Amino acid sequence: MVHRYKNNGYLIVLDVNSGSVHIVDELVYEIIGLLETNVTPSEIVKNLKGQFEETDIRTALEECESLQEAGMLFTEDTYEEIITQFKDRKTVIKALCLHIAHDCNLACRYCFAEEGEYHGRKALMSFETGKQALDFLIANSGSRKNLEVDFFGGEPLMNWQVVKDLIAYGREQEQIHDKRFRFTLTTNGVLLNDEMIETANREMDNVVLSLDGRKEVNDSMRPYRNGKGSYERVVPVFQRFADSRNQDKYYVRGTFTRHNLDFSRDVLHLADLGFRQISVEPVVALPEEEYAIREEDISVLCDEYDVLAKEMIRREKEGKGFQFFHFMIDLTGGPCVYKRLSGCGAGTEYLAVTPWGDLYPCHQFVGEEKYLMGNVYDGVKNQKIRRKFQNSHVYAKEECKDCFAKFYCSGGCAANSYKFHGSVDGVYKIGCKLQRKRVECAIMVKAAKETALLNAHSKEER
């Protein structure tokens, strides 16, 4: 399977099964389109010699053929063969999302936890439960050395002492069990102070700072409970935090909704505020919510991704570049095929823990009673759910089989699929379209970077 597309003046061919990415000229672009439909080389020459020189056509055909022989073009899908062994793989738990607080000091309208209310059952995680969660993780992690613990919520800073105590406990246990904890923190920033910043900089591998973008956009979706906006409070402290981490190992993380389909403006606003690590992502919402993204919004959003990609390239050239999470792509190999097949790891390698110690496949499933998997005292009791997530991969989903983005997306978000289509085994179709666009843009941005480097290199040589 190959995927050809044009974006921002680049003609790009992605060979899906090898992960090879080729920047081609018009001639090869046409040739590959014809080869895809099994037109023979001699017919291709006949077909194209009106538009191109015959010698060029033959050279280009040879180049395509040598790529094919090198396993970088029209490569076969050999992965379905490993699926059986893959489905039976033994999984270990290596990441937990700790809901340190089921409470929040904001009332964000799109919150997966009902504006931080959690069905009215507010709670803070005790140190004892958190300790048990870390013990559970260690005990079930097999020989995995790197373990991830995410301090999440609600708003984890509302229970900061427990966060600190758990970090101290984790560091102690690392020595005993030869593990390494990667602690991370997601916060709305309202309670953030210098002491927390200092601790986070010492202990957290990454921090996620929630901020949607422009003030009016942010304040309409992220108000305090009294309706006032939170932008003025959090922007300065987030700027300080990001700078103190040397503009690295953090994301400022926004959500876009139907109310700001022109979200590239929010991304650029965040860049103008000085942030270099930015993520702005589509809201996860039930379709009936008035702020949910709809099918008819997709073409506007795709245009926004294009606008954003172009502007990022321009700013990079001017020395004002920034990273955009969804455009980050590793073309030097990236993760292995097993990782590409297993996706996010929710429900198998990665679980969410409520303040009471209950286990769910991920934070989006917390509170969905039929997805309760067990608890940190007794372990995972519901193996059926675990197996369901384990067997949910791109070869199990009809829609994924023919999708060029399958090894970047890995089947998409199970929670999105569940909320929109009632099953974790489906795909969230709106998400798919956006994902494909993002992969195309991400590759194009890489192509532009490479081209700029090549041009700089050849200028130097002259």
> Which of 42-50, 54-62, 124-132, 187-195 is the region at the interface with other proteins (rule: CB under 8 A)?
54-62
Q: Is 71 in the site for other proteins (CB under 8 A)?
A: yes
Helix axes 41-48, 54-69, angle to 10 degrees: 150
Helix axes 429-461, 414-421, angle to 10 degrees: 140
- What is the smallest separation between the CB atom of 172 and other proteins, expressed in angstroms? 22
CA gap 431, 416 in Å, rounded: 8
Q: Hunting for tokens 């020459």 — which residue is that?
A: 45
CA gap 359, 348 in Å, rounded: 11
The number of residues in the chain equals 462
List binders of other proteins among 190-229 (CB under 8 A): 205-208, 210
Residue number with CB closer to other proteins (228 or 401) = 401
Q: Is 137 in the site for other proteins (CB under 8 A)?
A: no
In the list 136, 241, 251, 420, the residue contacting other proteins (rule: CB under 8 A) is 251
- What is the smallest separation between the CB atom of 271 and other proteins, expressed in angstroms? 16
Strand 146-152 with 180-187, pairing = parallel
Contact predicate 447/12, CB 8 Å: yes
Q: Is 312 in the site for other proteins (CB under 8 A)?
A: no
Q: Is 108 in the site for other proteins (CB under 8 A)?
A: no
Residue number with CB closer to other proteins (128 or 142) = 142
- What is the smallest separation between the CB atom of 170 and other proteins, expressed in angstroms? 16
State the alpha helices, DSSP H only, in 318-405: 337-342, 383-390, 398-401
CA gap 263, 166 in Å, rounded: 37
Residue number with CB closer to other proteins (75 or 354) = 75
Residue number with CB closer to other proteins (265 or 438) = 438
Q: Is 335 in the site for other proteins (CB under 8 A)?
A: yes
123 three-state secondary structure: strand
Residue number with CB closer to other proteins (162 or 283) = 283
Residue number with CB closer to other proteins (228 or 406) = 406
Q: Is 359 in the site for other proteins (CB under 8 A)?
A: no
Residue number with CB closer to other proteins (30 or 358) = 30
- What is the smallest separation between the CB atom of 94 and other proteins, expressed in angstroms? 7
Residue closest to 108 by CA, chosen among 254, 220, 207, 190? 220
Which residues sit opposite 99 in a β-bridge?
152
In the list 82, 123, 197, 307, the residue contacting other proteins (rule: CB under 8 A) is 82
Q: Is 286 in the site for other proteins (CB under 8 A)?
A: no
Buried b (16+ CB within 10 A) or exposed e, 57-96: beebbebbeebeeeebbbbeeebeeeeeebeeeebebbbb
In the list 35, 44, 67, 211, the residue contacting other proteins (rule: CB under 8 A) is 67
x/- mask, other proteins, residues 20-39, rule CB under 8 A, reads xxxxxx-xx-----------
The distance from CA 371 to its chain's CA centroid, rounded to whole angstroms, is 22
Q: Per 3-state DSSP, what percentage of the chain is helix, strand, and coil (rounded to 5)?
A: 45, 15, 35
Q: Is 144 in the site for other proteins (CB under 8 A)?
A: yes
Interface size with other proteins, residues (CB under 8 A):
85
Helix axes 194-203, 160-177, angle to 10 degrees: 20
Q: Is 6 in the site for other proteins (CB under 8 A)?
A: no
In the list 56, 115, 165, 316, the residue contacting other proteins (rule: CB under 8 A) is 56
In the list 137, 366, 435, 437, the residue contacting other proteins (rule: CB under 8 A) is 435
Residue number with CB closer to other proteins (227 or 273) = 273
- What is the smallest separation between the CB atom of 207 and other proteins, expressed in angstroms? 7
CA gap 162, 130 in Å, rounded: 8
In the list 5, 224, 291, 325, the residue contacting other proteins (rule: CB under 8 A) is 325
